[in-house]
Each structure stands twice: as structure tokens, then as C-alpha cells.
């Protein structure tokens, strides 16, 4: 029999209200022992909570009863809404722990049961995980779209069509040796169906990366020594994160500073000044790391000679427009002064414009590396199917593509992968 689990699901006390959730076959028993009876389903009822052994009053609050399988976890589920003080929640948790067959839930166990009982699929669980860790508005929106099943419904549509294409392929194989083939155009229709799926998959793979959204868009400030990189970094993040000095080579290593601007997460990186004549071994290492950061960046802010920009897509900045005798170099995209603030709004607007192409739009979602990997497998199998003239091999490629869909939904997931995902959740989730 499945264990019955319980946990505080409303966050750590003290708080105005504590919500203690119980899920599993003994949930009704727990409700009866603490409240005297099972209340009307799906209706909040005021009840006195009592210790099942001593009968002592523990608290008075609301109780809700949700009979399975139509619940969040797919099991019988009860919730005790008590006062949120530490002593109150602790004594109710202790009372539940005295009931035979009940145990404290492990991290993420409620959500894992929802997954195992078919209430959510793996992609929705990943979206819920992202939602729990969301720190910016763009992260919240993307996570909500994934948790609400927008991607899952798309995958379900692919699965349905793959099954139909596989059935049509089997029919074509069954009648391939017969004179009275039921539909002479069936193979052409199968091929057309695969091509449509391929087109959709390629479009879907162009979606933003969930990892980029989670870790922040990588904005690297690069240029020669004393170009104003550290001053600009401090102005962008709103604090003195990097040391500013007139001494060349002050920044020896990468300085990474996370920040959120207009609801978008960024990871700003200040780098060592790029030059070829460094005789300092430590500075040379810093320059090599700076070059590596520039290659890996989503957005590069180049504060040097526009003609020497290391990337064609870099934002070329003339950064000291407040200095006496300053003249803007030809080819610069933007002139600004981090000291006076001149041009900073324009720079933030330009960064935001580029960043908006790397994050999901309103109501859309980002793809995890795991999802992208399985979609690439599916894509490869469908392309291989189109490239074979052997109908039997065609059917096999479709079968392998269906396996990739199963991996997307979690039906072919491994225990280690599931443990890693749900282990990140808090105990009451």
C-alpha cells in the first residue's frame, strides 16, 4: 500500500495561516482522528483539531476534504488550515506523526505523486519547479506557461499524430503484397504528415532556452584597459560591484554580477582589458578568460575601437562622452557617460530590445535542455524516415520517434532523473 504523507505546505512559520496537507489512503483516517469526522467534500468547514491520543484541543481552524482521484495528487487528500504560529503547526504535525501509516513527506513528494498518478506530466512538473525558483517577472511568466501545460498539449498533439501515422504505415505494410490496396495514396499522405511534423518541430526548437532565462542573459563588457568597463558595470547594476581605477589592468579576472532590469534577469560580466602586449602572466590569464567570456556571451558591450570589435553583433560603445575634448569614434552605436548618466537610458533600452529576443514572449514558454534533447531525437528519426524507401524501416523510425515523445512526457524517464528533479522542491510541495 502507498504510504500516506503529510507536511506543512504553506512555508515556514510564523505566518498568519498554516496549511498542512495530507495525501494518501489514510487521509480520511487522519481527518477523522483529528476532527471527529470526515466533512463534506470540497467545502471548507470550521473544526476543532484534537490530539488523537489525549483528546487535547490543538487549534480551531478550517479543514478541507478532497476524495481521490480528482485531486492535486490523484489520491485522497486532506488539508488543515490552522493558525500559523510555530507551536501550533508543530503540535498538529506531531499529532499526525502519531497516526499509524502516516509519515512526513520527502521534498517534492506531493508533486511527484501528482506526476506518477497522471495529474501532471514531466514538462508540467519542470514548469512548476521553475515557478518555485522564479525571481523575475519573465521567469514567472515562462514557468507559468509551462506549468499550465501549454507545451504538454503540443506534445500530446504530436503523439496523437505520430500514432496515426504509425497506424497508416502498418496498414500500408499489411497490404503491400495485396492487389487490392485500400488507398493508393496512403504513402504520400504519410510522408506529408511527417513533413508537417518536422516543420513544427524545427519551429519549436527555435524557442528560447530555459537555462538562459534561469541563469540570466549573459552580458559581457569588453574592451582595452581603462575603457570604462568597470564604471559602466557599476552604473548598470546600480552598485559598486567592480573596483574602478585609472591604473591599467585593475580588473584581472571576470567579475560576474546578477541583476534584473525591467523584469528580465541578466548576468553582467566585467572582464580584463584586452591587449596584446601584456607582460604579466596573471593578466594574460585574465585576458584569455575575457576572450572566452566574449565568445560565450549573449550580448557583448564593446568599449574599444569599433573597428577592433571581437564580434560583429557587439554593441559598440563610446563610453566617456563627458570628458573634455571627447569626439565620438566613427562606427560607434552609442555614446554615453556612466558618470553623468548621459546615454544610459538608451543603452538599457538597446540591451532590453536584444534580450527580448532571447526570452519567451507573453504567455509563452522556454525549453529545457532535456526537452530540447528529446525533440532533437524525434527530429532525427523523422528525417531518417523521410530519407528511407524501405517502408519497414520507415515504421521503425516512427516507433523511435514515439519513444522520444514518451521521454518528453516522462513515461520513459529514469528514476535517477526523477529523483534529481523532485528533490529540488521544498518538503511541502
pLDDT digits (tens, 9 = 90+) for 405-414: 988 887 755 5
Round the average pLDDT of the chain to a whole number and report it. Answer: 86
What pLDDT, on a 0 to 100 scale, did the predictor assign at position 425?
67
Mean pLDDT of 356-384: 92
What does the pLDDT look like over 27-40, one tens digit per residue? 999 999 999 999 89
Distance, CA of 403 to CA of 134 (rounded, Å): 31
Q: What share of the chain is helix, strand, coil (3-state, %, to 5)?
A: 45, 15, 40
What pLDDT, on a 0 to 100 scale, did the predictor assign at position 420?
59
What pLDDT, on a 0 to 100 scale, did the predictor assign at position 428?
67
**What is the maximum span of the chain, computed from C-alpha positions, in angstroms?**
90
What pLDDT, on a 0 to 100 scale, did the predictor assign at position 250?
46
Residue 246's pLDDT band (boundaries 50, 70, 90)? Answer: very low
Residue 96's pLDDT band (boundaries 50, 70, 90)? Answer: very high
The yes-or-no verdict on residue 249 having pLDDT over 50 is no
The yes-or-no verdict on residue 254 having pLDDT over 80 is no
Q: Which residues contact 358 (CB under 8 A, 6 or more apart)?
A: 208, 209, 212, 217, 298
What pLDDT, on a 0 to 100 scale, did the predictor assign at position 313?
92
Domains of the chain: 4-116 (3.30.1360.120), 124-208+367-409 (1.20.120.430), 213-356 (3.40.50.300)
What pLDDT, on a 0 to 100 scale, did the predictor assign at position 283?
65
Phi first, then psi, for residue 43 (nearest 5°) are -135, 130
The yes-or-no verdict on residue 335 having pLDDT over 50 is yes
- Report the share of the chain in percent with pLDDT over 90: 54
What pLDDT, on a 0 to 100 scale, did the predictor assign at position 245?
42
DSSP H or E segment with residue 255: strand 255-261
The yes-or-no verdict on residue 252 having pLDDT over 60 is no
Cell of 400: 523511435
Distance, CA of 291 to CA of 308 (rounded, Å): 13
Mean pLDDT of 362-382: 93
Residue 54's pLDDT band (boundaries 50, 70, 90)? Answer: very high
What pLDDT, on a 0 to 100 scale, did the predictor assign at position 247?
44
Phi first, then psi, for residue 96 (nearest 5°) are -65, -35
Q: What is the reported pTM?
A: 0.75
Amino acid at each position: 500500500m502507498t504510504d500516506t504523507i503529510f507536511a506543512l505546505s504553506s512555508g515556514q512559520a510564523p505566518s498568519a495561516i498554516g496549511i498542512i496537507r495530507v495525501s494518501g489512503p489514510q487521509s480520511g483516517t487522519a481527518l477523522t482522528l483529528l476532527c471527529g469526522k470526515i466533512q463534506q467534500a470540497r467545502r471548507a468547514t470550521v473544526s476543532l483539531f484534537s490530539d488523537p491520543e489525549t483528546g487535547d484541543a490543538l487549534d480551531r481552524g478550517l479543514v478541507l476534504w478532497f476524495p481521490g482521484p480528482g485531486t492535486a495528487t490523484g489520491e485522497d487528500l486532506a488539508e488543515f488550515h490552522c493558525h500559523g504560529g510555530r507551536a501550533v503547526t508543530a503540535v498538529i504535525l506531531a499529532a499526525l506523526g502519531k497516526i499509524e501509516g502516516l509519515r512526513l513527506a520527502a521534498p517534492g513528494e506531493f508533486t511527484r505523486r501528482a506526476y506518477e498518478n497522471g495529474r501532471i506530466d514531466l514538462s508540467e512538473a519542470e514548469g512548476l519547479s521553475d515557478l518555485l525558483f522564479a525571481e523575475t517577472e519573465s521567469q514567472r511568466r515562462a514557468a507559468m506557461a509551462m506549468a499550465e501545460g501549454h507545451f504538454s498539449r503540443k506534445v500530446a498533439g504530436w503523439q496523437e499524430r505520430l500514432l496515426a501515422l504509425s497506424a497508416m504505415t502498418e496498414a500500408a505494410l499489411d497490404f503491400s503484397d495485396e492487389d487490392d490496396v485500400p488507398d493508393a495514396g496512403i504513402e504520400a499522405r504519410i510522408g506529408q504528415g511527417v513533413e508537417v511534423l518536422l516543420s513544427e518541430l524545427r519551429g519549436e526548437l527555435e524557442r528560447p532556452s530555459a537555462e538562459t532565462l534561469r541563469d540570466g542573459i549573459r552580458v559581457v563588457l569588453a574592451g582595452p584597459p581603462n575603457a570604462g568597463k568597470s564604471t559602466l558595470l557599476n552604473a548598470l547594476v546600480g552598485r559598486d560591484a567592480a573596483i574602478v581605477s585609472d591604473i591599467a589592468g585593475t580588473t584581472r579576472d571576470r567579475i560576474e554580477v546578477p541583476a534584473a532590469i525591467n523584469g528580465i534577469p541578466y548576468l553582467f560580466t566585467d572582464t580584463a582589458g584586452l591587449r596584446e602586449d601584456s607582460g604579466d602572466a596573471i593578466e594574460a590569464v585574465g585576458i584569455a578568460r575575457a576572450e572566452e567570456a566574449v565568445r560565450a556571451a549573449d550580448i557583448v558591450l564593446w568599449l574599444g575601437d569599433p573597428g577592433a570589435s571581437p564580434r560583429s553583433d557587439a554593441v559598440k560603445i563610446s563610453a566617456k562622452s563627458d570628458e573634455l575634448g571627447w569626439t565620438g569614434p566613427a562606427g560607434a552605436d552609442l555614446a554615453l557617460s556612466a558618470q553623468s548618466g548621459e546615454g544610459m537610458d538608451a543603452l538599457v533600452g538597446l540591451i532590453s530590445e536584444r534580450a527580448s529576443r532571447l526570452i519567451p514572449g507573453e504567455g509563452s514558454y522556454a525549453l529545457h535542455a532535456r526537452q530540447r534533447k528529446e525533440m532533437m531525437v524525434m527530429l532525427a528519426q523523422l528525417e531518417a524516415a523521410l530519407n528511407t524507401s524501405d517502408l519497414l524501416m520507415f515504421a521503425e523510425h516512427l516507433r523511435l520517434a514515439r519513444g522520444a515523445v514518451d521521454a518528453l512526457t516522462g513515461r520513459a524517464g529514469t528514476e535517477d532523473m526523477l529523483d534529481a528533479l523532485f528533490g529540488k522542491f521544498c518538503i511541502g510541495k
